[in-house]
Amino acid sequence: MEAQALEKDIRMNNHLTGPTLVFADHSHVDFVVRNLLSNAIKYSFQGGKIEIRKSDTGKAGLTAFSISDNGIGIDNDTAEKLFRLDGQSRLGTSGEKGTALGLIICKSFIEANGGNIRVESVKQKGTTFIFSLRQDRDDSDHTVSESGGLP
């Protein structure tokens, strides 16, 4: 992933200052961040910029993060299908291939940890994915077992 970012001359700016504590499965969060970052690189132009920030959730008890790029963007039709199995994978700006499963798994993982994930995008301008995670353990509901993990 780093090699690809270097090749495209993409600058990644991490605006998270200091540690932020969330309650979530480490390997799930790792998968989500990796897929969102690799997508951002894949769909960015040469010399692009990626920004990682904290974001607003509008919901108590959740902390949100955003990963933004100024790449090729996503049209409305595609955006609607992104988290469903009927989407198609698009080649990256350097012809990179995928399976279109990454975001489906991301959504499943984020929801299994009690959070949400959504996308905001403008064609030819860029894309932002925002996902939230719990600030604390919540013993009152058992989302992980109820959602059943992967689709």
Ligand X SMILES: Nc1ncnc2c1ncn2[C@@H]1O[C@H](COP(=O)(O)OP(=O)(O)OP(=O)(O)O)[C@@H](O)[C@H]1O
As a whole number of angstroms, the distance between CA 122 and CA 143 comes to 32
CB of 80 to ligand X, least distance (A): 11
Does residue 66 interact with ligand X by CB under 6 A? no
Nearer to ligand X, 77 or 141 (CB): 77
Nearer to Mg ion, 76 or 99 (CB): 99
Does residue 71 interact with ligand X by CB under 6 A? yes
Nearer to Mg ion, 39 or 57 (CB): 39
**Cβ atoms of residues 71 and 33 within 8 Å:** no
By the 10 Å C-beta count (0-12 exposed, 13-18 middle, 19+ buried), 87 is classed as middle
**Cβ atoms of residues 131 and 56 within 8 Å:** no
Does residue 102 interact with ligand X by CB under 6 A? yes
Q: Which of 64, 66, 11, 6 has its CA nearest to residue 36?
A: 66
Nearer to Mg ion, 39 or 63 (CB): 39
Does residue 103 interact with ligand X by CB under 6 A? yes
Does residue 69 interact with ligand X by CB under 6 A? yes
Q: Which of 104, 11, 26, 116 has its CA nearest to residue 65?
A: 116
**Cβ atoms of residues 63 and 132 within 8 Å:** yes
Which of the residues 40 through 99 are near Mg ion (CB under 5 A)? 98
Residues near ligand X (CB under 6 A) are 35, 39-40, 43, 69, 71-74, 78, 82, 87, 89-90, 98-103, 127
